[in-house]
Amino acid sequence: MDELDSAIVAALQANGRRSNRDLAAALGVSPSTTLERVRSLRDRGVLAGVHYVVDPAQLGRPVQAMITVRLRPQSRDVVLGFRNFAIQLPETLQVFITTGAEDIVMHVAVPSTEALRDFVLDSLTKRREVAGVRTEVVFDHERNHVVALAPQQG
């Protein structure tokens, strides 16, 4: 990635819906150059899509929690199988496979603390491979939508 690629990535992270013409004008290059660079960044997997950020509270799910899950036995099939199960649950926002005492961290959003309790007991702990669960309610949540780019080594 050169300086222009980095500038394109930064600009699109700030506003992924801006037009190619607007992006080119902001960067001081031709629209054809910008279009070619954006296509290359997509083809290389640097740019993976444009998404709207949804507020779960506005959809009736104001309670968010981080749930750590310990699995047994620890094997690739068990961990990946649980990850695939967890990401399909409508309450799940994100799933992370981690190192340490727990194997999985889930970020969920639910309508109430009672719904959170029911989710943990009815959807998670009843699974045979779940050896332990810890739930922490999220009081506040901020997300950084911009990935800072590392300076290029020369």
Which domains can be identified in the chain, with CATH numbers?
Answer: 3-43 (1.10.10.10), 56-138 (3.30.70.920)
46 vs 151: which has the higher pLDDT: 46
Q: What is the pTM of this model?
A: 0.82
Residue 38 and residue 20 in contact, taking contact as beta carbons nearer than 8 Å: yes
Instruction: Give the pLDDT of residue 14.
Output: 87
Q: Which pLDDT belongs to residue 75?
A: 96
For residue 143, is pLDDT > 70? yes
User: Per residue in 50-105, pLDDT tens?
Assistant: 888 889 999 999 999 999 999 999 999 999 999 999 999 999 999 999 999 999 99
| Residue range 91-138, pLDDT digits in tens | 999 999 999 999 999 999 999 999 999 999 999 999 999 999 999 999
- Which residues lie below 8 Å from residue 63, measured CB to CB, with a gap of 6+? 109, 110, 111, 112, 113, 115, 116, 137
Query: What's residue 92's pLDDT?
Result: 98
Give the E-state strand segments of the chain in sequence order: 63-71, 92-97, 104-110, 130-138
Average pLDDT over residues 4-10: 93
Q: For residue 149, is pLDDT > 80?
A: no
Give, for 43, the enclosing helix (H) or strand (E). helix 31-43
